[in-house]
Amino acid sequence: MSQTIPDFSAAMTSGQTFQLSGRPAKATVLFFYPKDNTPGCTTENMAFRDLHDKFTAAGAEIYGISRDSLRSHENFKAKLGLPFELISDPDEAVCLAFNVMKMKKMYGKDVRGIERSTFVIDAKGQLVKEWRGVKVPGHVDEVLEFVANLG
């Protein structure tokens, strides 16, 4: 499934800019989630937080991405004590590059939003694994297992 991901940069928390090229990690984990401070997204971010040391030990860096503002991300990160940075994508450029914008049903209405998805990119910028339409329970464990077994 290996495909090259085009280089991109985006604003992220802690006043930093994410740049895909030149990431020193063996694996970069990008997880797209719909919205800060919503139940499923909070649970998912806490699961990545709780296993962060194991991801780091496996040579992986984790980044969460949503359309929320940097201000919202900074508050969400502080509230949950997240040890990783959150990428702000208000213009959906990164979301569109990864094709995660979908029509969804919310309270009986059609709404356009982020389909919960996770991507693992190796040190050469190759996409080596993707999960789409993610259900939160057990997902982060599955991602960690994949990253830990990455050559």
Catalytic residue (choose from 41, 100, 121, 144): 41
User: Does the annotation count 95 as an active-site position?
Assistant: no
Of the candidates 77, 33, 15, 88, the one whose C-alpha atom is nearest the C-alpha of residue 52 is 77
What's the CA gap between 84 and 63, in Å, rounded?
6
DSSP 144: H
Alpha-carbon gap, residue 72 to 74, rounded angstroms: 6
Query: Would you please indicate which residues are annotated as catalytic (active-site) residues?
Result: 41
